[in-house]
Amino acid sequence: MPDSHLIRDVFPKPSPSSTSLGFELLALDMKTLTTRVRFEGRPEFCNPTGVIQGGYLVAMMDDTIGMLAGMKAGKTKLPSTVDLHTHFLRPVRKGVIEVTARLRNVGRAMLFAEAELFDSRGKEAARSTASLTLNPVLKPAT
Protein backbone atom coordinates (compact mmCIF):
# COMPACT_ATOMS: atom_id res chain seq x y z
CA MET A 1 0.00 0.00 0.00
CA PRO A 2 2.62 2.55 -0.97
CA ASP A 3 0.23 5.52 -1.22
CA SER A 4 -2.61 4.61 1.15
CA HIS A 5 -1.53 7.31 3.62
CA LEU A 6 -2.36 9.96 0.99
CA ILE A 7 -6.10 9.26 1.04
CA ARG A 8 -6.69 11.44 4.13
CA ASP A 9 -5.25 14.46 2.28
CA VAL A 10 -7.98 14.29 -0.36
CA PHE A 11 -10.72 12.58 1.68
CA PRO A 12 -10.35 13.68 5.34
CA LYS A 13 -13.22 11.43 6.38
CA PRO A 14 -15.12 8.65 4.58
CA SER A 15 -18.41 9.51 2.91
CA PRO A 16 -21.58 8.10 4.49
CA SER A 17 -22.14 5.96 1.38
CA SER A 18 -18.65 4.45 1.67
CA THR A 19 -19.20 3.77 5.36
CA SER A 20 -22.55 2.08 4.70
CA LEU A 21 -20.88 -0.28 2.18
CA GLY A 22 -18.06 -1.15 4.62
CA PHE A 23 -15.28 0.50 2.53
CA GLU A 24 -11.78 -0.56 3.63
CA LEU A 25 -8.76 0.52 1.58
CA LEU A 26 -6.37 -2.40 1.03
CA ALA A 27 -4.00 -0.97 -1.57
CA LEU A 28 -3.44 2.28 -3.43
CA ASP A 29 -0.68 2.90 -5.95
CA MET A 30 -0.76 6.31 -7.61
CA LYS A 31 2.19 5.45 -9.85
CA THR A 32 0.24 2.64 -11.56
CA LEU A 33 -3.14 4.33 -10.89
CA THR A 34 -4.56 1.19 -9.27
CA THR A 35 -6.36 0.39 -6.04
CA ARG A 36 -7.92 -2.51 -4.15
CA VAL A 37 -10.80 -2.04 -1.70
CA ARG A 38 -12.64 -4.47 0.59
CA PHE A 39 -16.37 -4.14 1.21
CA GLU A 40 -18.74 -5.92 3.54
CA GLY A 41 -21.51 -7.81 1.72
CA ARG A 42 -24.16 -7.50 4.45
CA PRO A 43 -27.34 -9.56 4.77
CA GLU A 44 -29.44 -6.42 4.34
CA PHE A 45 -27.97 -6.04 0.83
CA CYS A 46 -29.48 -9.40 -0.23
CA ASN A 47 -32.57 -9.86 -2.36
CA PRO A 48 -35.19 -12.55 -1.58
CA THR A 49 -33.04 -15.25 -3.26
CA GLY A 50 -30.19 -14.62 -0.80
CA VAL A 51 -27.76 -12.93 -3.19
CA ILE A 52 -26.62 -9.33 -3.06
CA GLN A 53 -28.77 -7.03 -5.18
CA GLY A 54 -26.80 -5.77 -8.19
CA GLY A 55 -27.18 -2.10 -7.32
CA TYR A 56 -25.04 -2.58 -4.22
CA LEU A 57 -22.33 -4.27 -6.28
CA VAL A 58 -22.37 -1.41 -8.80
CA ALA A 59 -22.16 1.09 -5.92
CA MET A 60 -19.06 -0.72 -4.61
CA MET A 61 -17.35 -0.51 -8.00
CA ASP A 62 -18.40 3.13 -8.49
CA ASP A 63 -17.15 4.00 -4.99
CA THR A 64 -13.77 2.41 -5.73
CA ILE A 65 -13.41 4.09 -9.13
CA GLY A 66 -14.57 7.42 -7.68
CA MET A 67 -12.02 7.28 -4.86
CA LEU A 68 -9.19 6.51 -7.27
CA ALA A 69 -10.31 9.26 -9.66
CA GLY A 70 -10.54 11.68 -6.73
CA MET A 71 -7.02 10.79 -5.66
CA LYS A 72 -5.74 11.49 -9.18
CA ALA A 73 -7.72 14.75 -9.46
CA GLY A 74 -6.59 16.03 -6.07
CA LYS A 75 -8.36 18.93 -4.39
CA THR A 76 -8.82 21.13 -7.47
CA LYS A 77 -11.15 18.93 -9.52
CA LEU A 78 -14.18 16.84 -8.62
CA PRO A 79 -14.70 13.62 -10.63
CA SER A 80 -18.27 12.86 -11.57
CA THR A 81 -19.36 9.58 -13.17
CA VAL A 82 -20.97 10.18 -16.56
CA ASP A 83 -21.35 6.55 -17.64
CA LEU A 84 -20.90 3.27 -15.78
CA HIS A 85 -21.42 0.03 -17.67
CA THR A 86 -21.49 -3.23 -15.71
CA HIS A 87 -21.46 -6.92 -16.62
CA PHE A 88 -22.64 -9.30 -13.90
CA LEU A 89 -20.80 -12.61 -14.24
CA ARG A 90 -22.11 -14.62 -11.25
CA PRO A 91 -24.27 -14.12 -8.15
CA VAL A 92 -22.58 -12.77 -5.02
CA ARG A 93 -23.53 -13.97 -1.54
CA LYS A 94 -22.97 -12.08 1.70
CA GLY A 95 -19.43 -11.89 2.99
CA VAL A 96 -16.18 -10.18 2.06
CA ILE A 97 -16.15 -8.52 -1.36
CA GLU A 98 -13.07 -7.01 -3.00
CA VAL A 99 -12.92 -4.53 -5.85
CA THR A 100 -9.85 -3.68 -7.90
CA ALA A 101 -9.82 -0.61 -10.10
CA ARG A 102 -7.48 1.17 -12.48
CA LEU A 103 -7.52 4.42 -14.38
CA ARG A 104 -7.02 3.69 -18.07
CA ASN A 105 -6.86 7.12 -19.72
CA VAL A 106 -6.62 10.45 -17.93
CA GLY A 107 -7.15 13.73 -19.73
CA ARG A 108 -7.71 17.33 -18.63
CA ALA A 109 -11.50 17.05 -18.55
CA MET A 110 -12.28 13.32 -18.65
CA LEU A 111 -10.94 10.04 -17.44
CA PHE A 112 -11.75 6.41 -18.11
CA ALA A 113 -11.59 3.57 -15.60
CA GLU A 114 -12.20 -0.15 -15.15
CA ALA A 115 -13.08 -2.22 -12.10
CA GLU A 116 -13.51 -5.88 -11.22
CA LEU A 117 -15.48 -7.21 -8.25
CA PHE A 118 -14.58 -10.50 -6.54
CA ASP A 119 -16.80 -12.55 -4.21
CA SER A 120 -15.73 -14.06 -0.88
CA ARG A 121 -14.24 -17.06 -2.74
CA GLY A 122 -12.04 -14.76 -4.83
CA LYS A 123 -14.03 -15.40 -8.02
CA GLU A 124 -14.67 -12.53 -10.39
CA ALA A 125 -18.37 -11.74 -10.18
CA ALA A 126 -18.75 -8.41 -12.00
CA ARG A 127 -16.79 -5.90 -14.05
CA SER A 128 -17.39 -2.27 -14.95
CA THR A 129 -16.06 0.41 -17.23
CA ALA A 130 -16.65 4.07 -16.46
CA SER A 131 -16.27 7.54 -17.93
CA LEU A 132 -15.88 10.45 -15.52
CA THR A 133 -15.73 14.20 -16.03
CA LEU A 134 -13.28 16.29 -14.03
CA ASN A 135 -15.15 19.37 -12.84
CA PRO A 136 -13.45 22.33 -11.17
CA VAL A 137 -14.05 22.57 -7.44
CA LEU A 138 -15.89 25.82 -6.83
CA LYS A 139 -16.25 27.70 -3.59
CA PRO A 140 -19.68 27.24 -1.97
CA ALA A 141 -22.28 29.84 -2.91
CA THR A 142 -22.71 32.59 -0.33
pLDDT digits (tens, 9 = 90+) for 13-49: 888 899 999 999 999 999 999 999 999 999 999 999 9
Question: Given a cut of 90, is residue 2 above it in pLDDT?
Answer: no
Helices (H) and strands (E) in the chain, counts: 3, 6
DSSP 3-29: TGGGHHHH-SS--HHHHHHT-EEEEEE
pLDDT band at 103 (very low <50, low <70, confident <90, very high): very high
In 3D space, the residue among 106, 98, 104 whose CA is nearest the CA of residue 133 turns out to be 106
CATH 3.10.129.10 assigned to 4-136: yes
Apex 50 CA angle, 15 and 20, nearest 5? 10
Cα 43–chain centre separation = 20
Q: What is the pLDDT of residue 62?
A: 97
What does the domain layout of the chain look like in residue ranges? 4-136
pLDDT cut 90: percent of the chain above it: 80
CB atoms within 10 A of CB 28: 21
